[in-house]
Amino acid sequence: MKIVTFGTFDLLHIGHINILERCKKMNNGDNTVIVGISSDKFSYEKKSRYPYFNENSRIKILKSLKFVDEVFLEESFDKKEEYLKKHNADVLVMGSDWEGKFDMYNNICKVVYLPRTPDISTTNIIETINNIM
């Protein structure tokens, strides 16, 4: 199956690896995992700050992972349908922080929300490091 997922994936951490591993292993399959990485600009629009690592670095890091097969740049929310069709997605996977928000794409592919790994996020890492500096 072709699994498409989206995110900024800045300061790669265990929560990111866990969701990508679950995409790869979903339904006991050796799936093709395609990741739409939020561009720097789009990430700023969502989170009101630029990622620590720029989009080219994040693309290179994600491409190097064994649970990831393909990476592309996501430039806006509005293009999700276009991206899903272009990549022939069978499943759209999102973290549970997005629960229900992408149900409109159920007519293109199956939409699955996976629980987040507890107690870690990029924001949390940045805040923790800022506090000890």
Which listed residue (4, 16, 91, 109) binds ligand CTP by CB under 6 A? 16
| 2 scored as a contact of ligand CTP (CB under 6 A) | no
- The secondary structure of residue 48, as a DSSP letter, is S
Q: Is 35 helix (H, G, I), strand (E, B) or coil?
A: strand
| Residue 72 near residue 54 (C-beta atoms within 8 A) | no
Q: Which is nearer to ligand CTP, 88 or 123 (CB)?
A: 123
Q: Is residue 120 close enough to count as binding ligand CTP by CB under 6 A?
A: yes
Q: CA 84 to CA 23: how far, in whole Å?
A: 15
Tokens of 60: 């290179």
Ranges within 70-89 binding ligand CTP (CB under 6 A): none
User: For binding to ligand CTP (CB under 6 A), which residues are involved?
Assistant: 7-9, 15-16, 19, 47, 94-95, 97, 116-117, 120-123
